Amino acid sequence: MPGMFLRRKTKSVRGVDYSYWHLCETVRTARGPRQRVVASLGKLDQKQCAGLCGGWDYLPALLRGETPPPKPVTAALPGFDTLGSPEPARWEQADLRALRVERPREFGECYLALSLWHHLGLDTLLVELMPAGREQVGWAHVAALLTVARFCVQPSELGVAEHWYEMTALDDLLGVAPELINDDRLYRALDQLGQHQDALCAHLMGRYRQWFGVRCEFLLYDVTSTYFEGQAERNPQAQRGYSRDQRSGNKQVCIGLVCTPEGLPLSFEVFAGNRTDVTTVEDIVRQMEEKYGLAERIWVMDRGMVSEANLVFLRERKAHYLIGTPKSWLRAHEQTLLEQSDWQTVQDGLEVRLVEHPQGEPGERYVLCRSGARAQKERAMLERQSERLTQELTKIDRWLRGSPQADQESVGRRIGRHLGKYPAAAAIIVAAVLSDQAGRAVGLQISSRLDAGQKAHRQKGAYLLRTNCKETDPVQLWCWYIPLTQAEAAFRTAKSDLGLRPVFHHKQDRVRAHILVCFLALALWRTLEQWMQTKGLGTCARQLIKHRAGIKSDVVVVPVRRAGMQTELRLRVVTTPDAATSQLLAHLGLRLPKGTREINNVVPKISP
């Protein structure tokens, strides 16, 4: 198109120069040649103009159908090979009837996990912690692979090495060929990574502070367990104890997790499987003080986590605490629960008030809470337990009436099994054994304790908090306590979404390293949720990951003809997500690689 050119108009606003670029052409009119603006190309600052000026110079050539020389491309994720970086336009004669797609591989989840890994700076940190040696694949790359695999819910390193790695695009993203990934290399990487737990936790804390303004003066602490497959005889911490997974027959270890009120994991510790929760508090408190100094931080814990000795320990260290109390402590406030005045409303159906307690220590405060929704739920649970217990006792009664039993001890054991199965209902329902003159059990007399039932009804939906904080507003104290559910949610995420359980390793150090990898994957997950929340996209990371899972990396085979020879052009392409997913990723600032990349040389074929 002869007569076309670029025109730049410069405008200064508050000392800043802006350049407005227009595409113009010269046209002949009755009054002579005139210049007409074809398109407005927008405004750019001087730095952008300097970088893009070469591109504008070739715009007339593009409009004439000519191919401009290539321009440098910036990778979407520095530190990783960007799959499918745009290449210069190239024209080929292709046979579209023979076009085909080969080797579709998982891309979206892996790319998301590596993006989070990179943004957290874990790649740079691990290169410093585990510098390159004689190994063929750097330990930092293998550590990234282990964490990404855990983020993508891969249960074992053996499965990752044998089939999962080849099914993903990680060989392109990490630059590690599939034949270099085997179970031995992954196990050795676990051993290397496990030596740097403290440095990784400290690094994550720094990132949380930088991004989300997190402070370590307010900490949540909770304990869970995870079980082993196998006997784990080489691990002294593998013991049988109280199982949160209903796997009492399996050996297990207990895990203490410290996290922020937002649920961001800060640190963890592994304890023997038969260790009670209450004995772990001192170890965790000392550990956090060694890492972050002796500060008057607030510890939020469940009532099963602490004892009077632990509270004395915390007070001696000038630490504050906010904990729940045993249900028995509510007996002193049954009358208060019936009162209708002096309550402060937190939200609909939830009220709190400060109360005194006869067993309280000097300087302690107590917050009495009552929730209508929780009361309704707990009463329904108690009603179901009572119905089931009554049904089981009725079955025993029919059995005894049809077949009297001389061994009353066996009858008592059978009744005791059901009473132990439904402890809440057992406090209300009473079963007395009826005997005949020969001393045989001939039936049961089932009754309910009216006073116990009324007391249980009043206490449902109520709980008592105990604290030595100086805060006097019960609403604020309740708001400090309720984020404890974030620690519980973190455990659910680690177990259900990240495959923390079961544990297949038997060595103690390797088990700790396995939990460290799950901890890092949890950090990626929670960081993604906080990232989404700051962008106004909610906190449902599962939904985003589900959308990303549909993004694949494919090899497109294009038959072309060059100089009379039939050849094949093999291009690696990342599939385009749907409009909703694209918009979601755009809000997060995550962009997928665009364009194609040739993955091998064109191999000539004999023309038919």
Q: Could you tell me which residues are beta bridge partners of residue 558?
A: 569
Give the single-character DSSP code of 439.
S
Give residue 79's pLDDT. Answer: 32
The closest of 302, 301, 292, 305 to 266, measured between CA atoms, is 292
Residue 25: Cβ-neighbour burial (10 angstroms; 0-12, 13-18, 19+): middle
* Per-residue pLDDT at 450: 79
- What sign does the CA torsion over 335, 341, 345, 348 have? positive
Q: d(Cα 162, Cα 164) in Å, to the nearest integer?
A: 7
**What pLDDT score does 164 carry?**
94
Residues shown for the chain? 608
Collect all residues with Cβ–Cβ distance below 8 Å to 466 and sequence separation of at least 6: 321, 322, 323, 324, 325, 357, 360, 364, 365, 366
Residue 41 has a pLDDT of 65
The closest of 532, 514, 521, 524 to 120, measured between CA atoms, is 524
Instruction: Tell me what pLDDT residue 543 has.
Output: 79
Distance CA 222, CA 509 (A): 22
Residue with tokens 């500060």: 295
Helix (H, G, I), strand (E, B) or coil at 98: helix
Write out the H or E segment, with its range, that includes residue 597. strand 596-598
Q: Residue 13 forms beta bridges with which residues?
A: 16
Angle between helices 508-534 and 197-212 (to 10 degrees): 10
DSSP per-residue string spanning 329-371: GGGGGHHHHH--SS-EEEETTEEEEEE--TTPPTT-EEEEEEE
Question: What local confidence, expressed as pLDDT, does residue 539 receive?
Answer: 77
Concatenate the DSSP letters of all residues of 250-270 into one string: S-EEEEEEEE-TT--EEEEEE
Q: pLDDT value at position 31? A: 79
Q: State both tokens at 473.
A: 């507003």
Listed in sequence order, the DSSP H helices in 160-261 are 170-174, 183-193, 197-212
Report which of 361, 346, 364 is spatially closest to residue 470, judged by C-alpha positions.
364
498 neighbors 525 (Cβ within 8 angstroms):
yes
> Which parts of the chain sit beneath pLDDT 50?
1-2, 44-58, 60-85, 601-608
Judged on CB neighbours under 10 Å (0-12, 13-18, 19+), 254 is buried
- Partner residues linked to 226 by β-bridges: 253
**Count of CB atoms within 10 A of residue 241's CB?**
16
Which pLDDT belongs to residue 71?
Answer: 40
Separation between Cα atoms, residue 59 and residue 41, nearest integer Å: 11
Residue 175: what pLDDT? 87
